[in-house]
A and B are shown apart, each in its own frame.
Chain A
Amino acid sequence: MAAAPPAAARSKPVARRIALTGAAVAALAVAVLLSLAVGARAIAPTAVLDALLHGGQSDAAQVVRELRVPRTVIGLMVGAALALAGTALQGITRNPIGDPSLLGISQGASAAVVLAIAFAGVHELTGYVWFAFAGAGLASVAVYAIAARGRGGATPVKLALGGAAINALLVSVTMAVLTTKAAALDEFRFWQVGSVAGRDAEVVAQTWPFLLVGVVLVVSVARGLDALALGEDVAKGLGQNVATVRVVGGLGATVLTGVGVAAAGPIAFVGLAVPHIARAIVGGDHRWLLPMAALIGPVMLLVSDTVGRVIFPPSEVPAGVMTALIGVPFLVTLVRRKAVAA
Chain B
Amino acid sequence: MGKASFLVHRRSVWVTGILALLLAATTLAYLCVGESFVPPTEVLKVVLGQPSPDELVVGTLRLPRMVVGLLVGAAFGVAGALIQTVARNPLASPDIIGISQGASALTVGALTFGVTSYAVLPYVSIAGGVAAAALVYVFAWRGGLQATRFVLIGIGFAIALRSVTTLFMTKGDYLVAQQAQIWMTGSLNGRSWPEAELLGSTLLILLPAVAWAARAQRTVTMDDDTATGLGVRLGRVRLGLVLLGVVLASVATGTAGPVDFVALLAPQVARRMTRTAQIPLVSSALTGAVIVVLADLLARRLFSPTELPVGVLTAAVGAPYLIWLIVRSRTVGGKS
Contacts and interface: CB of A to CB of B under 8 A. Distances in A.
Interface of A: 97, 101-102, 146-147, 149-153, 155-158, 160-166, 168-169, 171-173, 175-176, 178-180, 182, 185-186, 189-190, 192-193, 268-269, 312, 315-318, 320-321, 324-325, 327-328, 331-332, 335-336, 340-342
A325 to B, nearest CB: 6
Given A165-B319, A172-B316, A268-B163, A186 B174 contact: yes
Give me the 5 closest cross-chain CB pairs, A-B, nearest first. A152-B333, A172-B315, A169-B319, A324-B163, A331-B156
Nearest to A315: B171
9 contacts: A168-B261, A168-B318, A179-B185, A185-B177, A186-B174, A189-B166, A328-B160, A336-B153, A342-B334
B276 interface: no
Given A180-B303, A325-B160, A156 B152 contact: yes
Nearest to B189: A179
Nearest to B331: A151
Contact of B322 (A165, A189, A268): A165
A164 B158 CA distance: 10
B96 A164 contact: yes
A161 B155 contact: yes
* Most chain B beta-carbon contacts within 10 A, residue among A147, A185, A331: A331
A188 B124 CA distance: 28
Nearest to A323: B163
Nearest to A341: B149
A150 to B, nearest CB: 5
Nearest to B165: A321
Contact of B148 (A150, A157, A169, A186): A157
Given A153-B333, A157-B151, A332-B153, A166 B319 contact: yes
Given A146-B326, A158-B332, A335 B170 contact: no
B256 to A, nearest CB: 15
Contacts of B330: 150-151
A69 to B, nearest CB: 24
B159 A161 contact: no
Q: Is the interface of A mostly helix, strand, loop or mixed?
A: helix
Interface residue tally of chain B, by bracket? 35 or more
B320 interface: yes
B296 interface: no
Interface in B117-176: 139-140, 142, 146, 148-149, 151-153, 155-160, 162-164, 166-167, 169-171, 174
Contacts of B157: 328
Interface of B: 91, 96, 139-140, 142, 146, 148-149, 151-153, 155-160, 162-164, 166-167, 169-171, 174, 177-178, 181-182, 185, 260-261, 303, 306-309, 311-313, 315-316, 318-320, 322-323, 326-330, 332-334
Contact of B156 (A146, A169, A332): A332
Given A164-B155, A189-B170, A317-B167, A175 B185 contact: yes
B182 A179 contact: yes
A161 B315 contact: no
A88 to B, nearest CB: 21
Given A158-B333, A328-B160, A172 B170 contact: no
Given A336-B139, A336-B142, A180 B181 contact: no
Contacts of B146: 341
A317 B171 CA distance: 8
B178 A185 contact: yes
A103 B29 CA distance: 39
A146 B327 CA distance: 6
A164 B316 contact: no
Contacts of B163: 193, 268, 320-321, 324-325
Given A169-B319, A268-B159, A331 B166 contact: no
A143 to B, nearest CB: 9
Contacts of B309: 175, 179
A312 B168 CA distance: 11
Contacts of A146: 323, 326-327
Nearest to A328: B160
A341 B319 contact: no
Contacts of A169: 315-316, 319-320
A157 B332 contact: yes
Contacts of A324: 159-160, 162-163
Contacts of B185: 171-172, 175, 179
B170 A318 contact: yes
Contacts of A149: 326-327
Contacts of B181: 178, 185, 189
A178 to B, nearest CB: 8
A317 B326 contact: no
Given A150-B332, A165-B322, A321 B167 contact: yes
Contacts of A269: 159
A341 B170 contact: no
Given A157-B333, A324-B160, 6 more contacts: A146-B327, A157-B151, A157-B152, A186-B177, A318-B167, A321-B166
Given A150-B330, A189-B170, A162 B164 contact: no
B312 A175 contact: yes
A163 B323 CA distance: 9
A169 B93 CA distance: 17
A161 B326 contact: yes
B315 A341 contact: no
* Most chain B beta-carbon contacts within 10 A, residue among A186, A190, A320, A324: A324
B307 A179 contact: yes
Contacts of B171: 312, 315, 317
A336 B142 CA distance: 7
* Most chain B beta-carbon contacts within 10 A, residue among A151, A168, A316: A168
A189 B315 CA distance: 20
B278 to A, nearest CB: 24
Contact of B306 (A160, A171, A179, A193): A179
Nearest to B147: A157
Nearest to B160: A328
B173 to A, nearest CB: 10
